[in-house]
Structure 1
Amino acid sequence: MDYEELVRNIGKAGLTIKKFAELIKANPNSITNLSNEEKKVPKNLAIIAMLLGELVDNGIDYKPLFDKLQLEPQKARVENKFGNKE
């Protein structure tokens, strides 16, 4: 899945990139940065976006499902003493 397809699928769920990031407890910049890369969207994000689109297409409210997950916020990556991100 490319970035445009990700945006299309989360848009079907009535979400912006920022709201999608909040839903999955990720940093919005981590997701918007994918638009600058020529790579495909990571498969975990592609799966979530595709499932969100399908849930909405089938009249299923996804919000209670995410509430049940009790996801922890994504930790910011920090650089170690060698300049590598961890």
Structure 2
Amino acid sequence: MTYVEFQRHVGKAGLTIKAFAELVRMNRISLSNYAKRGEVPSHLAVIAALLGEMADQGIDYRVVLSRIDIASKKPRGAGKNGRFGGNPARELDRFKEDGPTKQSH
């Protein structure tokens, strides 16, 4: 689905892009980045289309979604603790005298 079509469905549901992102527990900027690509992933397209159709049919999607425990999406590359990178306190022994030597390329 194109981003423009996605925006139309989100608007039919009475939402802004920011409100949609909050509803599905996504980072608003991650969602807005799809505008640059011109398309949204199919799972977001399905959600937007269903929300727009539910609004057209007079069904309050907020009641339906309130019954679901939606977990926040972790940033890409996030580790177990939800942060980027490793454990900075862990000592790297790659270049220690008693550790492995540098490998030649």
The aligned counterpart of 1:46 is 45
**Which of 1 and 2 has higher RCO (CA within 8 Å, sep 6+)?**
1
The aligned counterpart of 2:21 is 21
Gaps of 5+ in 2: 78-83, 87-105
**1:1-80 pair list within 5 angstroms:** 1-38=1-38, 40-78=39-77
| Deviation of the 1:80 alpha carbon | 5.8
- What RMSD in Å do the two structures reach over aligned CA positions? 1.5
Task: Say which SS state the counterpart of residue 51 (structure 2) adopts.
Answer: helix
Letter of the 2:5 partner, please give it.
Answer: E
Letter of the 2:62 partner, please give it.
Answer: K
Q: Which runs of 4+ in 1 moved over 6 A?
A: none
| Deviation of the 1:64 alpha carbon | 1.2
The aligned counterpart of 1:84 is none
Q: In structure 1, what is the Cα distance between the partners aligned to 2:46 and 2:85?
A: 31
Mark the structure with the bigger radius of gyration.
2
Q: TM-score, normalised by structure 1?
A: 0.85
| Deviation of the 1:77 alpha carbon | 2.0
Work out the number of aligned pairs and report it.
80
Gaps of 5+ in 1: 82-86
CA offsets, 1:8-63, max 9 Å, x none? 1010111011000000011111110000114x310000000000010000000000
Identity over aligned residues, as a percent?
Answer: 45
